[in-house]
Chain A
Amino acid sequence: MADNTEVIVNPKEDIVDPWTVQSSSDKGVDYDRLIEKFGSMRINDDLIKRMEKVTGKPVHHFIRRGIFFSHRELEMILEKYEQKQPFYLYTGRGPSSEAMHLGHLVPFICTQWLQETFDVPLVIQMTDDEKFLWKEEIKDPDQTYRLAYENAKDIIACGFDINKTFIFSDIDFIGGCPEFYKNICRIEKKVTFNQVKAIFGFNESNNIGQVSFPAIQAAPSFSSSFPKIFGGHTRVPCLIPCAIDQDPYFRMTRDVAPKLKFLKPALLHSVFFPALQGAQGKMSSSDPTSSIFLTDTQKEIEDKINKYAYSGGGATLEEHRKKGGDLDTDVSYQYLRFFLEDDVKLERLGKEYKTGSLTTGDLKKELIAVLQKLVGGHQEKRQRVTEDIVKQYMKPRPLNYKF
């Protein structure tokens, strides 16, 4: 289904694809159901223990708290790591607007942690061509090309190691690396319209660029797409941290990989960062009241949380003290799960809110402080990212690894 401008109110079943995320309940998407439907695996305690054993440190709180909740073949990656064999990370961003929001940070925060922990190269794809092909209001690829470079600054501000990270715009890289385009063609020859119809819901009125785009998002999963980084090696395995709505692209990729004698990429899926109004939608750059933008001022953050963040607390103070707050639907609490690193404090706040001893106002206060610091810190780091630094990250070049 192309285009998420249409919001389907109260769908009967959860809708999850790269362009639309709408849940049928106010608790949000049923992720257990989704794992079953998609055929991925839950990240369970055993897997977490294994990761901690293998890396010698606790997992990121995103993984511990089930924000990254599902995977495909993560064990294979851990095996490689144990055998001191290489793998690389691949994630991406669709640069449809200048302002990125908190939800966009989630995969990048986790990816940065993975890069640090496993010490592996990372490629980040900016799908400027995709956004041009999909957005009616974007009249020329030059616009999304520019957005790609702007968004790259926010991504770089997440702290990726310049010697281990290659960020690329599709327009630059397709128009700069024949090996990438060749892989795109190889994939395009293994996927029919019937298949993209079934996987993505395409139909006759999709433009022909949209129809073939999935091959472009698939191609970075194969190390031969990056000759300067991997020296022509075609079988360095790939791990893709992404939001679960991206999974269809990689189910398709995993299906195609063996036919090309490439390795299937492994995946780490995250849940959605809920919109301010509640867990039925996902944050969207096109709706300012649904999001906390990385450009919001301290005051804007305060106002948005106070005004729009859906409360799972009681309708009145009495009711709240009596019944307590519903942690599952309370957006402020959910946001704290993402961004309050302190496990102990999070648990305390959760208990107090649930029993009603902590009010919504006070919970929000905690959150506002956390977000102001996070966003303020991000803005500072972003300011230090110059055009030259962006260019360095985006230059096709060998990284600090030999293959």
Chain B
Amino acid sequence: MADPSVENQVNGQAEEDLVNPWTVSSSSLKGVDYDKLIKKFGSAKIDDGLIERMEKLTGKPVHHFIKRGIFFSHREMHMILDLYEKKQPFYLYTGRGPSSGSMHLGHLVPFICTKWLQETFDVPLVIQLTDDEKFLWKDLTVEETIELSMKNAKDIIACGFDVNKTFIFSDYDYIGKCSEFYKNITRVQKLVTYNQVKGIFGFDDSTYIGKISFPAIQAAPSFSSSFPHIFGGNKKVPCLIPCAIDQDPYFRMTRDVAPRLQYLKPALLHSSFFPALQGAQSKMSSSDPTSSIFLTDTPKEIKNKINKYAYSGGGATVEEHKEKGGNLEVDVSYQYLRFFLDDDEKLEKLGNEYKSGELLTGYLKKELITILQELIADHQKRRSLVTDDDVKQFMTPRKLNYNY
């Protein structure tokens, strides 16, 4: 049984949110109760104080993801800001599990935020493609997962990362190239028992031994000594990890292990889930095409998917809608606008009008469709310009534009 369960009252019955790296589900239409999750996980809410401090230090507004609470929780973000204030270095670490050729909108979220962080703080970034993880968990061959890594790398590069500041690596490639990385993996492995991963990840005796030891592989990039070519052997460059909240168990484990290795605990920025088209009870998934908007979807496909499948919080009939208004919290189209409509004012206006019933579901969806079509078309254009050589460059272990 996978772990942190959160009580959620629906119609008088206690239901549990299920959040771990492989499953995210909630019985509530509103989705996971994030406040309860913060309590359960022991992270901290990103509050106004933190946002103000970020804006003061960086001299610019935070990304709307942070402003709007899409990135809503953190661990030790203040520590990172302290360092920045003292002009001391840190680096970013995020990742992708390449289980399919097609990435979807939900996958873009941490990458969009990470890119903004890289630009804003001017720091190096490592991106882990966990092809070994996907091999162990999915019915794929090693070669297939490697191929998917290469494909996904192009989408990631298309998000606009700076090649002089970014190292992208596939586990199969990098573990087989860098003893320092493998050594850190064994150091972490030695400090985590089977009992612990059972508790954290819900493994059991019928789990493959590869899965059991995998968490150490996702932990290791949190330590700068894993990247000797970037950090010159410096073991204590702190790390900030922007990721979706379901990844937190890996990093709770990592933070527990770090001090025993005389390493620094990584800081974290957690995002909420990009809801599935059918509603926030589940997250978007590559394995279910009707739950997702893929980065390869055509403008027509986007339009049809939103119109057909995007769960509506509006009234059952036009009359009912004009009378009662729409429920913003469960309306998927509105939720998507929160993610991708940059313009705060416009978002507020649409929200108010939909809530009051003035704006119909059809029109709301139309707004969203336009935005998504543009977003995805732009992405596809940028992706088509990414060559195999570009990928090679990003994926070569090398010194970046920083000295340590």
Quick check: is B287 within 8 A (CB to CB) of the other chain? no
* Those of B124-182 within 8 Å (CB) of chain A: 132, 135-136, 142, 172-173, 175-182
Q: Classify chain B's interface size.
A: 35 or more
Interface of B is mostly: helix
Quick check: is B236 within 8 A (CB to CB) of the other chain? no
Q: Would you call B179 and A215 a contact (CB within 8 A)?
A: no
Contact indicator per residue, chain B 186-217, by CB within 8 Å of chain A (1) or not (0): 11011111110110000111111111110110
Q: Would you call A182 and B209 a contact (CB within 8 A)?
A: no
Interface of A is mostly: helix
In the assembled complex, which residues on chain A have CB atoms less than 8 Å from the CB atom of B189?
A: 133, 207-210, 212
A191 to B193, CA, bound (A): 18
Stretch from A82-90, A196-204, A297-305 contacting the other chain: A196-204
In the assembled complex, which residues on chain B have CB atoms less than 8 Å from the CB atom of A181?
A: 132, 172, 175-176
Q: Would you call B209 and A212 a contact (CB within 8 A)?
A: yes
Q: Would you call B187 and A178 a contact (CB within 8 A)?
A: no
Cβ-defined partner of B176 (8 Å) among A176, A202, A208: A176
Q: Would you call A141 and B186 a contact (CB within 8 A)?
A: yes
Quick check: is B349 within 8 A (CB to CB) of the other chain? no
Count the A-B residue pairs with Cβ separation under 8 angstroms: how many?
A: 131
A93: shortest Cβ distance to chain B, in Å?
18
Quick check: is A362 within 8 A (CB to CB) of the other chain? no
* Those of A24-66 within 8 Å (CB) of chain B: none
Cβ-defined partner of B190 (8 Å) among A179, A203, A205, A207: A207
Q: A133-B186, A171-B179 are in contact. Are A191 and B195 (CB under 8 A)?
A: no
B215: shortest Cβ distance to chain A, in Å?
7
Quick check: is B308 within 8 A (CB to CB) of the other chain? no
Cβ-defined partner of B206 (8 Å) among A172, A192, A209: A192
Quick check: is B324 within 8 A (CB to CB) of the other chain? no
Quick check: is A194 within 8 A (CB to CB) of the other chain? yes
Q: Would you call A207 and B176 a contact (CB within 8 A)?
A: no
Q: A205-B193, A209-B213 are in contact. List 6 more A-B contacts (CB 8 A).
A: A174-B175, A175-B175, A192-B205, A194-B205, A204-B194, A208-B192
27 contacts between A and B (CB under 8 A): A129-B182, A133-B186, A133-B190, A171-B186, A174-B176, A174-B179, A175-B182, A177-B176, A178-B172, A178-B176, A180-B176, A181-B176, A182-B142, A188-B208, A189-B135, A189-B136, A192-B206, A197-B205, A205-B193, A205-B194, A205-B195, A206-B193, A208-B189, A208-B197, A209-B216, A212-B209, A215-B210
List residues of B whose CB falls within 8 A of some A CB. Answer: 132, 135-136, 142, 172-173, 175-183, 186-187, 189-195, 197-198, 203-213, 215-216
